[in-house]
Chains A and B, each alone.
Chain A
Amino acid sequence: MSADVLYSIRNLTVEYNTRAGPVRAVDDVSLDIQRGEILGLVGESGCGKSTLGKALMRLHDELACLTMGELRFDGRDLMKLPLSDMPKIRGAEIGMVFQDPMTSLNPVQRILDHLTETIRTHEPKSSLAAARARAEELVERLGIRRERLKEYPHQMSGGMRQRVMISLALALRAKLVIADEPTTSLDVIVEAKFLDLLRELQKEFGLTILLITHNIGVVAEVADRVAVMYAAKMAEVGTAREVFADPKHPYTQGLLKSVPNIELDGGDLYKMAGEPPSLLHPPAGCRFHPRCPFVMDICSREEPAFEPVAGGHLASCWLYRKAGVINAPGKQEARNG
């Protein structure tokens, strides 16, 4: 493992207990997040990307949800920490920006109180005035006038609230910011500004950002590396250039072809065959095989390992393996860089 890996996820499995039975929303996923990068995590709705994001902070209710695997963040395995120690890490070291800025702020608390509370939760010794000064400095950096700190969340626009959410993550200089579909509810202009801001902040503060989104365009715009998830599994990981220029996994190829393009003539937009599988009864072997245009015999029988296909470019697909060479399940490993 190289030294610049900030968060190393190994064999992460998140299982929800539902009435219909256990559902693995994240199944045996391994991923490295490198220090200082923007990693885009893309996939269809329901493929487990938000669950993965939450699991990184152990935000899941332990009663309803079983989390297994290794979450090595900055040298510590978070899974081995008692849950009561997690609040010290949340906010201070890992921040999170949620999908809907309209509902992710407490409606009865002023913006200033959100910020000062965050600061003082983690630094009980800092005075209210100091926390206030820091909050003002921070929001001005993010382009919100300091007078507006006195306002309540409903008095702000969506873009502003999303910037407030970011400032909450930045207030304590979090090393990693998990942005869970941060621009989904913003219009394109605000979205573009927000993405620019993310880029700037990442450079200025040396932030590491995990950008969870279903919007391929957003990922292409800002991400350094891209991870593609399909049906609770990791399908492909590589640099943005590699993945967009030369997608290896048939799912990624289909995904990129499905993006509407103005240069495309006459409405023959590519539609992937079939539907994403139910995670309650996932298909045997490769989970994409029922929809895959290159399906082979082995695909329905054995699960492909998540292994490098070229350099740091990883994919889990039999197309790039010698048929018959089967890796035993559980030995899958991600090697980045």
Chain B
Amino acid sequence: MPNPSEQLPDILPEGTTWEAELKRVGFVRRVFMARRWYGADWWFVVLSSIAVVGFIVVALFPGLFAPYSPYALVGPSFLAPGAQVDLPILVVLKDSPVKELKDLAVAPDAQRPAVAVVEGKPTAGSLNEQAQKIDGEIKNQPGGLRLRPVIDRYVTLAEALQAVADRTDAAAVVQTTEFQAIKGEFPALRAAAPVSGGTSTTGGFLMGTNDIGQDILSRLLWGSRIALIIGFSSSIVSLLLGVPLGLAAGFAGGIFDRLLSLLMDSLYAFPGLILAIAITAVLGPSVFNIIIAISVLYIPTYYRIVRGQTLSVKEEVYIEAAKSIGARSLEILRLYVFPNVIPSVAIIFSVNVADAILTGAGLSFLGLGLPPTIADWGIDVARGQRFIQTAWWMITYPGLAILMVVLTFSMLGEGLTEIFNPRLRQR
């Protein structure tokens, strides 16, 4: 028979410390019970921390995750997300020995092969590009073969294919999907290897390609690096300047505090983006200058919070008690005021990173932040904006990336606020 006194009580008596409760429930259960200790925002913090860590890892090693280089023209332009690339394909007679474009090469003095293309299609460009590349490779090899095809242009696909069937042209370079559609009408022809041209892939692109054929996903992943650098560096710079200034002003008081507060308040009152635009316009576009501009913008945030906290901590009894044991001003600042002020700094830092990323993106969107070739979310959004009607994916994905990262950092900051501030906690 179970003895009731041996069972642990379900509800602990009032005043049980959380350590005692931890000893009782163990670590795993504590994680699951966290909501009870820290409120509902515990999950907010966990999820957003995971997301933040993920973002940082991607931003530190974008090469590991990005399928392509952000600057390489890897596909056709304006390819929709997930769509298959319509690669140009080499079409030859069934009995022809030609397997790929390279096989069309002939001796320098022989007649150059004629290749049929359809007017107005991009296949001629791919053909030219690929032929020149192969020619450059083979002309110095033994045998000295050259590949300099004569391009015959036809108005319709059928005409081009008929020319190959009639042996007028040695081969045709047409788009794969179009050839597949009318292949039945030309039983004598077969498809040889694709002519890739500038396109280095045969697969689709998860987020599509932009106006010049760059992979949007790769640009997003590489762009996270700029976002991370700008977000963290400018927040750290403003923290390193704002916190000591706030501490000094709050602790010293007097005319120094008045003057500094006036300066900071006027900075704060100035519309943020406009100030950043003005600073970058003067300094010129570079990552470093963006960091400077944004950190100037956020120094007052730290200053005001830290100064306010310092003013209230300064009045606490333990500061007076510290004075009564003979602690000097600097010691009081270092050991008593600073540790009591720093939790709120940690919280604004997180929200501040989000803000800085947003401002950085805003600057590049306006064309003031960075050189326009760099993989950056703001620049990608600005670019996509021009093609919003034809290629929605160009503006949507960078926009979503900004949204997600800003949301994540804000969530982390807000969640930490709730956890660190027991007054806001709901039991």
Contact = CB atoms under 8 A, between A and B. Distances in A.
B286 interface: no
A91 interface: yes
Contacts of B9: none
Given A98-B317, A108-B339, A59 B326 contact: no
Interface stretch (A39-47, A115-123, A188-196, A302-310): A115-123
Given A106-B336, A117-B335, A95 B321 contact: no
A208 to B, nearest CB: 16
B321 A104 contact: yes
Contact size range, B: 10 to 19
A230 to B, nearest CB: 25
Contacts of A89: 326
A96 B340 contact: no
Given A104-B317, A106-B318, A121 B325 contact: yes
A109 B313 CA distance: 14
A59 B339 contact: no
Nearest to B316: A103
A106 B17 contact: no
Among A87, A98, A105, A169, the one with the most B-chain Cβ atoms within 10 Å of its Cβ is A87
B3 interface: no
Contact size range, A: 20 to 34
Contacts of A203: none
B324 A105 contact: no
Contacts of A88: 326
A232 B121 CA distance: 100
Contacts of B324: 57, 59, 90-91, 94-96, 98
A317 interface: no
A90 B319 CA distance: 13
Given A108-B339, A155-B17, A118 B321 contact: no
Given A108-B339, A117-B335, A155-B17, A103 B326 contact: no
Interface string B322-344: 11111110010001100110000
A96 B321 contact: yes
Contacts of B316: 103
A59 B325 CA distance: 11
Contacts, number: 73
B166 interface: no
Among B17, B326, B335, B340, the one with the most A-chain Cβ atoms within 10 Å of its Cβ is B326
B346 to A, nearest CB: 13
A107 interface: yes
B335 A106 contact: yes
Contact of B318 (A63, A95, A105, A113): A105
Contacts of B335: 106, 109, 113, 117
Among B322, B324, B327, B328, the one with the most A-chain Cβ atoms within 10 Å of its Cβ is B324
B243 to A, nearest CB: 16
B256 to A, nearest CB: 13
Nearest to A165: B321
A103 B336 CA distance: 12
A100 interface: yes
A147 to B, nearest CB: 13
Given A103-B316, A117-B335, A121-B331, A59 B323 contact: yes
A109 B337 CA distance: 11
Interface string B206-241: 000000000000000000000000000000000000
B119 interface: no
A104 B318 contact: yes
Nearest to B254: A63
B284 to A, nearest CB: 44
Contact of A106 (B254, B326, B328, B340): B340
Nearest to B339: A108
A155 to B, nearest CB: 7
B320 interface: yes
A226 B327 CA distance: 31
B326 A98 contact: no
A92 interface: yes
B325 A106 contact: no
B340 A107 contact: yes
Nearest to B19: A155
Contacts of A100: 317
A112 interface: no
Contacts of B336: 106, 109
B318 A122 contact: no
A237 interface: no
A299 interface: no
A228 interface: no
Contacts of B318: 103-107
Given A63-B254, A92-B326, A155-B17, 6 more contacts: A87-B326, A104-B321, A106-B340, A108-B340, A121-B325, A121-B331
Interface of B: 17, 254, 316-318, 320-328, 331, 335-336, 339-340
